[in-house]
Amino acid sequence: MTDAWVVLQASGLRESLAGLLSRLPEGAIAPTVELLMAVLKATAIVLVIQLGMLYSTWLERKFIARIQDRVGPNRIGLFGLGVPFADMVKILTKEDITPTAAHRWVYNLGAVLVVPPALLGFAVIAFDRHLIAADLSVGILFFFAVASTSVIPIFMAGWGSRNKYALIGAMRAVAQIVSYEIPQVLSLVGVLLLAGTLGVNELIASQGPLGDGGFPGVWFVFLQPIAFIIFLIATSAEIERTPFDIPDAESEIIAGYHTEYSGIKFGMFYLALYFATIAAAAIGAILFLGGWQPPFAFLAFVPGWAWMTGKTVLLVLVFMWLRGTLPRLRADQLMAFAWKILVPLTLVNLLLTGLIGKLLYAAEQPPLVVFAAFTVSNAVLLGLLLWLIAWWRERDGAPAVRFDAPLAPSGRTA
């Protein structure tokens, strides 16, 4: 019902735009209509995601306040719902200061270019079968390719500030983002092998609902739980959420690469952070939680956008929960965890997934056999994970504390 309504509304809007542009040459009407439709889709995405970003800040402050036994925002509007708009006005009206020693072009471009990579990914996010701006056949590849460019404006911000703390933060961010992209992408390859597609809607359709047949016919989180956990960890590092906020660790380097930014320029970095968080949660829901698909066929009466929104909010809350409960890692721990633990684990997961998926798909085994095989595979991965962590802690553990005997008054030991 929802899909049919969306299609009818879109076709009706196209007809209305064609009627308004009827005075144009006949060959120019169709391209102009498609251009206007693209502009309208982009505008709708920006407005909806901007509103979601504002209330994500409110939700995070309320959620972490409950974890820490506080009240959270409660002064402006009912339950403090007006606080995000007050924060927006405050940032827009703050004085914009540019350091005299900064490289002005690089410094200003860093703040301007940090938002588009976080925003462009929403073009391929499917909130329902037809609620997608660009249904590309390589939508997943497009999302991660665009997201990976965020490292460039971050480095520009640190370098252009001509500030040692900002430069250290930028170098940390570059090392962290590049390192954690590897386990993040490798954790997804197993899912893509099982789905057999890079298209967003096709990948969602391969996950159910349960009982509809097809391979594998179940949310990938049940077949790839270890990959899902690796994805959450690597994505938290990619978007610099606690405990992976090393690039802007305030107890070490003030505010990292955006130390010298204020006013609306600082607001751009803040905006990009929450845009990236929502986008990461949405792509996680698509890859592992079935996207707009219901878990069971008898729940298909619930609109797809409602399922997608609920799953996205759930993963956003997971990121917030991690921030409110875990302490920050050291920089060396952060890098070692990526290369010594996550990368080997994702490679083994990829090997087992390819082997099991190929054998079971070729033999057309029933779903219970598929699930049992992946249960054994994930048990092996869990054992490997525990062994790697034990090996890492034993090898890089802190030296034992030694207490020397006190000296006697004569200078000799007692």
DSSP letters along 298-364, please? GGTTS-HHHHHHHHHHHHHHHHHHHHHH-PPPPHHHHHHIIIIIIHHHHHHHHHHHHHHHHHHHHHT
Please check whether residues 81 and 200 belong to one and the same domain. no
Residue 62 lies in a domain: yes
Residue 92 lies in a domain: no
Residue 87 pLDDT: 81
Using the predicted structure, report yes or no on whether residue 42 has a pLDDT greater than 80.
no
Q: 147-156, 228-237, 251-260: lowest mean pLDDT where?
A: 251-260
Domain around 21: 2-87
Of the residues 67, 87, 107, the one at which a domain ends: 87
Please check whether residues 54 and 196 belong to one and the same domain. no
Using the predicted structure, report yes or no on whether residue 369 has a pLDDT greater than 80.
no
Please check whether residues 22 and 108 belong to one and the same domain. no
Q: How many residues does the chain have?
A: 414
Mean pLDDT of 363-384: 78
Please check whether residues 121 and 39 belong to one and the same domain. no
Please check whether residues 13 and 162 belong to one and the same domain. no
Q: 21-30, 351-360, 377-386: lowest mean pLDDT where?
A: 21-30
Gap between the Cα atoms of 184 and 32, Å rounded: 39
pLDDT digits (tens, 9 = 90+) for 183-224: 999 999 988 888 888 888 888 888 876 555 555 567 888 888
Residue 249 lies in a domain: yes
Name the range with the highest mean pLDDT among 156-170, 261-275, 276-290, 375-389: 276-290
Mean pLDDT of 340-366: 80
**Amino acid making up residue 51:** L
Gap between the Cα atoms of 83 and 73, Å rounded: 7
Please check whether residues 275 and 368 belong to one and the same domain. yes
Q: 247-275 in b/e burial notation, b at 16+ Cβ within 10 A? A: bbbeeebbbbbbbbbebebbbbbbbbbbb
pLDDT band at 1 (very low <50, low <70, confident <90, very high): very low
Of the residues 52, 87, 122, the one at which a domain ends: 87
Using the predicted structure, report yes or no on whether residue 60 has a pLDDT greater than 50.
yes
Count of domains forming the chain: 2
Residue 298 lies in a domain: yes
Q: 174-207 in b/e burial notation, b at 16+ Cβ within 10 A? A: bbbbebbbbbbbbbbbbbbebbebbbbbebbbbb
* pLDDT cut 70: percent of the chain above it: 83
pLDDT band at 7 (very low <50, low <70, confident <90, very high): very low
Please check whether residues 126 and 234 belong to one and the same domain. yes
Of the residues 19, 54, 87, the one at which a domain ends: 87
Q: Which has the higher per-residue pLDDT, 244 or 346?
A: 346
Burial class for 235, CB neighbours closer than 10 Å (0-12, 13-18, 19+): buried
Residue 414 lies in a domain: no
Please check whether residues 56 and 143 belong to one and the same domain. no
Please check whether residues 83 and 211 belong to one and the same domain. no
Gap between the Cα atoms of 183 and 344, Å rounded: 9
User: What's the pTM?
Assistant: 0.82
Please check whether residues 247 and 365 belong to one and the same domain. yes
